[in-house]
């Protein structure tokens, strides 16, 4: 399929086939949904993620190569999206963040450094398997980063934000996704990246809805 032939439906079908949701991923969803408590302890733990994001923000602001994603990142922050979610999205393009998330979830981390020797026009049927694998891990990490030492109040807030401020999250995620592909010397159109991003975020939203909110 060429970029000119791309349609939203084809994007969703391709991504549904490409993202191999493993049994581990399904188990993560089940575990995450079984016990997030509405307590002060949860709130204190959630603040750790804010501090972690702040530390990484300093690093990416200094590094000029991340300028492309800064404005939509700050917009998403301004609109109230959680540090956990923004860190997960950023992890696709930031090795240190990705490594930290995998460390939290006690999953093996594999360094990603793939790059086409020449510019490659994105094509779902021929993109290198290493690229797909990296993105698959990225999608899998969402359940872990959202449930790790997380607050029930923040989960409720995040569910509401998906309804109220969804466009800013799509823009931020799309920019990160394009940045990731470009770093691997892969070209993709804005429209194609947007449809793939929206499909990925729809899977994220489903994961958020599985998180069980318990009053104590």
**Rounded Cα distance, 16 and 112, in Å:** 22
Of the candidates 164, 196, 154, 203, the one whose C-alpha atom is nearest the C-alpha of residue 47 is: 154
Which residues touch 98 (CB under 8 Å, ≥6 apart)?
91, 92, 109, 112, 137, 138, 141
Quote the domain boundaries for residue 120. Answer: 29-214
The tens-digit pLDDT sequence of the chain (216 residues) is 333 333 444 444 544 554 444 444 445 445 444 444 444 455 555 556 566 666 777 777 787 888 888 889 889 888 888 777 888 898 898 888 888 888 877 888 888 989 999 999 998 788 999 999 998 888 888 767 776 655 667 777 788 888 888 899 999 999 999 999 999 999 999 999 999 999 988 888 887 777 766 543
What is the pLDDT at residue 174? 95
Q: Which of 173, 185, 177 is nearest to 128 (CA)?
A: 185
Residue 5 lies in a domain: no
- 140 domain-assigned: yes
Helices (H), the chain: 8-18, 23-32, 40-62, 67-78, 83-90, 95-104, 129-147, 152-164, 166-183, 190-210
* 3-state SS, one letter per residue, for 41-94: HHHHHHHHHHHHHHHHHHHHHHCHHHHHHHHHHHHHHHCCCCHHHHHHHHCCCC
Q: Structural domain tally of the chain? A: 1
**Residue 23 neighbours by CB under 8 Å, 6+ apart:** none
Does residue 62 sit within a domain?
yes
115 lies in some domain: yes
The alpha carbon torsion through 1, 12, 78, 97 (nearest 10 deg) reads -80
In a domain, 166, yes or no: yes
Using alpha carbons, select from 25, 35, 22, 24 the residue that is nearest to residue 155. 35
The token pair that represents 64 in the structure block? 């000029």
- Is 111 part of a structural domain of the chain? yes
Instruction: Give domain status of residue 21, yes or no.
Output: no
Q: Which residues contact 28 (CB under 8 A, 6 or more apart)?
A: 105, 140, 143, 144, 147
Looking at residue 53, its pLDDT comes to 66
SS3 170: helix
Residue 160, domain member (yes or no): yes
Residues contacting 215, CB < 8 A, separation 6+: 38
Instruction: Identify the pLDDT of residue 156.
Output: 79
Q: The dihedral of CA 44, 45, 49, 51: what is its sign?
A: positive
pLDDT at 32: 45
């Amino acid at each position: 399929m060429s970029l000119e032939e791309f349609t939203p439906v084809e994007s969703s079908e391709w991504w549904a086939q490409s993202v191999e949701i493993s049994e581990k991923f399904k188990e993560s969803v089940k575990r995450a949904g079984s016990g997030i408590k509405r307590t002060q302890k949860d709130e204190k733990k959630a603040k750790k993620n804010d501090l972690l994001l702040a530390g990484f923000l300093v690093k990416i602001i200094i590094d000029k190569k991340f300028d492309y994603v800064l404005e939509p990142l700050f917009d998403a922050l301004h609109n109230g999206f959680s540090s956990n979610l923004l860190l997960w999205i950023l992890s696709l393009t930031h090795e240190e963040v990705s490594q930290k998330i995998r460390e939290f979830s006690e999953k093996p981390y594999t360094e990603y450094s793939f790059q086409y020797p020449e510019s490659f026009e994105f094509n779902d049927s021929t993109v290198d398997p290493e690229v797909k694998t990296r993105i698959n891990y990225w999608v899998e990490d969402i359940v872990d980063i959202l449930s790790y030492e997380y607050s029930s109040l923040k989960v409720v807030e995040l569910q509401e934000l998906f309804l109220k401020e969804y466009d800013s999250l799509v823009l931020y995620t799309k920019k990160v996704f394009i940045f990731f592909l470009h770093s691997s010397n892969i070209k993709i159109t804005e429209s194609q990246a947007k449809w793939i991003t929206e499909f990925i975020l729809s899977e994220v939203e489903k994961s958020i809805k599985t998180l069980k909110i318990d009053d104590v």
